[in-house]
Structure 1
């Protein structure tokens, strides 16, 4: 049976899931989205994702034509219709059709699109052996230009940094902020461990307030691992004992080098593996 996509108020075969070429989501990247994991048929950290979606929409003055409860039910309906046990949901809300201009007052009919499918972002060996990173020259958006806390459809900033990583032979790339501090990677938040203390850039470093990032910080507190949200530089990463990334699609991924410099002993560290296992346990609850 064809994949069923939720479009506005009903499920349709993916071949029929279409939007207007005049939609501002297509023309200008004008909209918001969430990427959500599904484990054992259960939508993982669902309330947090729905809340962030509506906050992103509010920040760009986009009126979502559904309530949070209705959106929650629509996601669950789409997951069930596609028999997704372990998979991924892409939830998109566009501004809707408009003119060939920027005026949002000339748009109408925001589109709600929910896709539920399987996903494998990285091969198993990445989680066992770790991944290398390079630093991209493309910096994260300046917070006064477009807040990185808004999960918008305009991902060109991240894509161009991802291109740099791909050109260098890595699957991820580190992005700095406008002050030259560590921000995040193209699709994931970043953590280091130094002398037993878990450290990650604060929200005001110009990063996405990651749902998985929040979950890992909670897991660290529960495991009594000291943690700090603190400004980091590339030097801090170069001399770290461990490093890992977090994201809804990526989960928890060990990092073993940055810009050709081994991090720690060049292998996934003890704290990283401990938090990876704790996160996997959380997804099975």
Structure 2
């Protein structure tokens, strides 16, 4: 596994801060209760030499929803939010590599919901332009909590504790990732990404009511499928359906569209089929070769390759 990157700067307290000086107080609720929410946003170099961020407004809107549901104050408007991202990414961007930025809202003051104050903290990491390699999946013994405990609709750091346990379980079994089931024993999602399945010429993914994050990548894939004339459904998926699926893929901002080469011991094709076509369309869009109206690209000012 690659070592954690330590970029020169992070953004916190309203400006750039040296990585080694970025601190949260031991008494804040983000430390004592894991109280934070986040969004991951991907930036891609474009054919004209510009650098663009994918679906920035949609990520901002989802972060605002998570903040509202967890009663975390978030006073930034979109212009302030994007300006902070532009400042950090301009300081760190490299001509040969894409970037992924984690925008985290930490609760830095308050106690049990009283006098709560948050701070927007941004960290950004470089990524190679290579396509993600196919992965092998298992089915985790760890389950997603329900909407009445830790709602998957909230992109909270605490919601990834089960995902961490599932990833450890995957490594112990020699696998890359795990499918998480919900409390009813049906498919929810992979540990950090939406799951898409093809059976009998239909693409399916679980709806949010199945303890699944409201995935922007799945939304985009639905639009790409409609453009292709493919049938795309949001419906409950049984565990056993995965074992007889024609194709599988996981999708998320960081995972993009990653083909699944095996589910358990059953191998799957990864270079042909409906999901492979959507994957090609996805990268043609985000890299600017074939822009799509759903996947808005916001250009980073004053940066060129």
TM-score of the aligned structures, taking structure 2 as reference length: 0.85
Instruction: Report the equivalent of 2:3.
Output: none
Which residue pairs with 1:104 in the alignment? 113
Q: Which range moved further: 151-160 or 268-277? A: 268-277
Instruction: After TM superposition, list the pairs within 5 Å mapping 1:223-234 onto structure 2.
Output: 223-234=228-239
Q: Does 1:19 align with 2:24?
A: yes
Partners in 2 of 1:267 and 1:248 — Cα distance? Answer: 20
In the TM superposition, 1:111-122 aligns within 5 A as 111-119=119-127
- Residues 92 and 138 of structure 1, relative CA distance in 2, 3 Å threshold: same
Q: In the TM superposition, what whole-angstrom CA distance separates every residue of 1:126-177 from its partner, at most 9, and x where no partner exists? A: 53xx221110000011221011010002121211111111111112100000
1:97-129 per-residue CA deviation (whole Å, 9 max, x = no partner) reads: 346xxx121x543121011221369x75x53xx
Q: Does 1:136 align with 2:140?
A: yes
Shift in Å, 1:212: 1.2
Supply the distance in 1 between the matched residues of 2:270 and 2:281 (Cα, whole angstroms).
19
Match of 1:159 in 2: 164
Gaps of 5+ in 1: none
Query: 2:200 maps to which residue?
Result: 195
Q: Give the 3 Å change call, closer, same or farther, for CA 141–84 of structure 1 in structure 2.
A: farther
1:146 has 2:150 as partner = yes
Q: Unaligned regions of 5+ residues in structure 2, if any?
A: 1-5, 46-50, 289-305
Q: Secondary structure at the match of 2:220?
A: helix
Q: CA RMSD in A?
A: 1.9
In structure 2, C-alpha distance between the alignment counterparts of 1:284 and 1:219, rounded to whole Å: 15
Distance, in Å, in 1 between the alignment partners of 2:193 and 2:185 is 18
Deviations 1:200-237 (A, max 9, x none): 11111110011111111111111111111111112211
Alignment partners' CA distance in 1, 2:266 and 2:7? 46
Please name the residue that 1:270 is paired with: 273
Q: Which residue of 30, 34, 40 corresponds with 2:35?
A: 30
Query: Equivalent of 1:214, from 213, 219, 232?
Result: 219
Deviation string 1:217-271 (CA, Å, 9 cap, x unpaired) is 11111111111111111221111111101011110011122121234xx444321
1:169-199 CA distance string (max 9 Å, x none): 1121000001111000100100011122111
Report if aligned partners of 1:256, 1:268 keep a CA contact under 8 Å in 2: no
Q: Does 1:239 align with 2:239?
A: no
Q: Give secondary structure in 2 for the equivalent of 1:222.
A: helix
Q: Distance in 1 between matches of 2:94 and 2:153?
A: 29
Q: Which has the higher contact order (CA 8 A, sep 6+)?
A: 2
Specify which structure has the higher proportion of strand: 2
